[in-house]
Amino acid sequence: QVQLVESGGGVVQPGRSLRLSCAASGFTFSSFAMHWVRQAPGKGLEWVAVISYDGSNKYYADSVKGRFTISRDNSKNTLYLQMNSLRPEDTAVYYCEGNPYWGQGTLVTVSS
């Protein structure tokens, strides 16, 4: 069956970096555009970034532009989010999504 499994979350100090991964299985990953969506504690959903099926096109939310980088490795069926210069307001559960599939999320906490 379809699975999207995020990993790489944790507690990190402001200004530091973290890389999230999303391992996909059960569908043709290389045919899907993939997104990262986040949800701060007790808040709504916020779209973060998208990468086209072949990695040639990427778009970002203004809140993360210049700090986060989305990438993918279709040979490994894996999506990534490199997060640099992290801020407390980046604290959230991060979900990977490839319509209509969603992962279970991984929690990132930015705190000193």
Partner 1 sequence: DIQMTQSPSSLSASVGDRVIITCRASQGISNYLAWFQQKPGKAPKSLIYGASNLQSGVPSKFSGSGSGTDFTLTISSLQPEDFATYYCQQYHSYPRTFGGGTKVEIK
Point out which residues bind partner 1 (CB under 8 A): 35, 37, 44-47, 50, 59-62, 95, 97, 99-100, 102-105
Which of 96, 93, 82, 77 has its CA nearest to residue 34?
96
Which is nearer to partner 1, 15 or 40 (by Cβ)? 40
H-assigned helices in 1-112: none
Q: How far is the CB of 47 from partner 1 (least distance, A)?
A: 4
Q: How far is the CB of 35 from partner 1 (least distance, A)?
A: 8
Which is nearer to partner 1, 36 or 80 (by Cβ)? 36
Q: How far is the CB of 72 from partner 1 (least distance, A)?
A: 17
Give the list of residues 6+ apart from residue 78 with CB closer than 8 angstroms, or none.
21, 22, 23, 24, 72
CB 103 within 8 A of CB 36: no
